[in-house]
Amino acid sequence: MPTTSTAAAELRSRETSRAPSLTLLQPPLVSFNGVNKTYDGTSLVVRDLNLEIRRGEFLTLLGPSGSGKTTTLMMLAGFATPTTGEISLAGVPITRTPPHKRNFGMVFQNYALFPHMTVAENVAYPLSVRGVNRNDRKAKVDSALDVVRLGTLGSRYPAQLSGGQQQRVALARALVFEPQLVLMDEPLGALDKQLREHMQIELKELHRRLGVTFVYVTHDQSEALTMSDRVAVFNDGFVQQVDKVDRLYEAPANRFVAGFVGDNTVLDGVVTATADASCTVGLSSGLRVTGLNVNDAKVGDNVQCCIRPERLELAGVLNQANTFEATVADVIYFGDHLRLRCSIAGQPEATVKLPLGGHEVAARGDAVLLYAAEEHLRVYL
């Protein structure tokens, strides 16, 4: 089991010793610099936004309703104007550039297809308004429909298509004029679960093949983790964290991100000691646990200790550090794994995720011992 000093060294190594990639060294495609937005002159829906979007990446703006993510996308598209601050594209300010001159592709949740036009005519519409000649239009439309695997459906009307096919038509229309940026506002929200998951895979593969920059808005955490290169987590108008998906999940920057992105078991307590990057927390039961001190908590601070369900382990003995007693409240079968809902005295309910066949399955009412490894237990103010 790692010691406190080992865990501290691992944290410093993970968070400070990465060499910058070539992508990081390139200038950003889009920059938000000190952007604020208010609609009523009083409350800010976006606050002090400083965000860079890299060329060719899939960036998702993730957050609950009212967090500022959609307003950020609308400001980038040109449908809303920042109250203060500047938005730049490849170093050139576009804050006052009208939407039709930004040359961005847009995909909306409701598809926004013209019902009286065929699929091919819908896809050709952005080319028509740009004055592209008929022959070039046809070649570009055929190519765009092939990209989204609808090459044989150009003569159909939107009403003759499934929801997933309509979404792909909307995507083809956004790609047909070869924009350098494609903006998507919850485009899969109207689809059923199975089709939505299928479309996530298709969008990710399409992005990989085309290399176009995608900026995607969603409130669905699993959707963001599945498709994105990086995710910007919004709450109350602020960006809470921008990071690669694995870092976002494994190393949330604060309590909100830890609670919003994925499941967590939470232990409430008070800091009793600090050492390097770790701290010791006293729980109401009198037990003490040690974890990574993410937000520089001090002795006496009320904190929450968070750990992912798959990082909690069933322990054999109680006398090892970071081990505590629990009672199984329920056993839930998920197909590919089991989840134990466990009651802990004086604490919120804990969830343990177990692989099938890897353990002797506990039953409801059984007493178990849970072990939270120090390097996976993150302590937040």
Q: Checking phi first, is residue 78 left (phi over 0); if not, alpha (psi -120 to 50) or beta? A: left
Give the separation between CA 124 and CA 139, rounded to whole angstroms.
10
My answer on whether 124 and 149 are in the same domain is yes
Quick one: 314 and 230 in the same domain? no
Asked whether residue 302 is assigned to any structural domain, the reply reads yes
Q: Is residue 11 part of a domain?
A: no
Task: Find the CATH number of the domain harbouring 308.
Answer: 2.40.50.140
7: in domain: no
Q: What is the CATH number of the domain that holds 146?
A: 3.40.50.300
Domain end position, chosen among 205, 226, 250: 250
Alpha-carbon gap, residue 89 to 68, rounded angstroms:
20
Q: Is residue 70 part of a domain?
A: yes
If asked whether residues 289 and 208 sit together in one domain, one would say: no
> pTM here?
0.86
| Residue 286 lies in domain | 263-380
Q: Going by C-beta distance under 8 Å and a sequence separation of 6 or more, which residues neighbour residue 225?
A: 231, 245, 248, 249, 261, 262
170 token code pair: 């909307």
pLDDT over threshold 70, residue 340: yes
Q: What is the mean pLDDT of residues 104-111?
A: 87
Domain boundary among 250, 275, 292: 250
Give percent of the chain with pLDDT exceeding 70: 92
For residue 257, tell me if it sits in a domain. no
DSSP-derived 3-state class of residue 169: helix
Contact assessment for residue 176 and residue 133, using Cβ atoms and an 8 Å cutoff: no
Q: Are residues 221 and 114 in the same domain?
A: yes
Q: Are residues 238 and 288 in the same domain?
A: no
The yes-or-no verdict on residue 317 having pLDDT over 80 is: no
Q: Average per-residue pLDDT in the chain?
A: 89
- Single out the residue in 202, 218, 250 at which a domain terminates: 250
**Judgement on whether residues 240 and 342 belong to the same structural domain of the protein:** no
Given a cut of 60, whether residue 15 has pLDDT beyond it is no
- The whole-number pLDDT of residue 127 equals 94
Q: Give the C-alpha separation, 372 to 288, whole Å.
A: 12
Q: What is the pLDDT of residues 25-37, one digit of tens each?
A: 678 999 999 999 9
Q: How far is CA 155 from CA 2, 165, 170, in A?
A: 64, 13, 15
pLDDT of amino acid 123:
96
Pick 3 or 258 by higher pLDDT: 258
Are 37 and 152 members of one domain?
A: yes
301 within some domain: yes
pLDDT in tens, 246-270: 999 999 999 999 999 989 999 999 9
Please compute the mean of the pLDDT values over residues 116-134 and round it to a whole number: 93
User: Is the pLDDT confidence value at 181 over 50?
Assistant: yes
Mean pLDDT across 277-291 = 93
As a whole number, mean pLDDT of residues 84-91 equals: 96
Q: How many domains is the chain built from?
A: 2
Residue 18 lies in a domain: no
Please indicate, yes or no, whether residues 193 and 47 belong to a single structural domain of this protein: yes
pLDDT for 8 beyond 50: no
Lowest mean pLDDT among 2-6, 119-123, 259-263: 2-6
Position 1 in a domain:
no
Same domain, 35 and 76: yes
pLDDT attached to residue 335: 81
Q: Are 86 and 159 contained in the same domain?
A: yes
- Output b/e per residue, 277-299; b: 16+ Cβ within 10 A: bbbbbebeeebebbbbbbeebee
**232 and 149 assigned to the same domain:** yes
Under 8 Å CB-to-CB from 72, ≥6 apart: which residues?
A: 32, 35, 46, 49, 51, 61, 234
Within this chain, do residues 174 and 275 fall inside the same structural domain, yes or no?
Answer: no
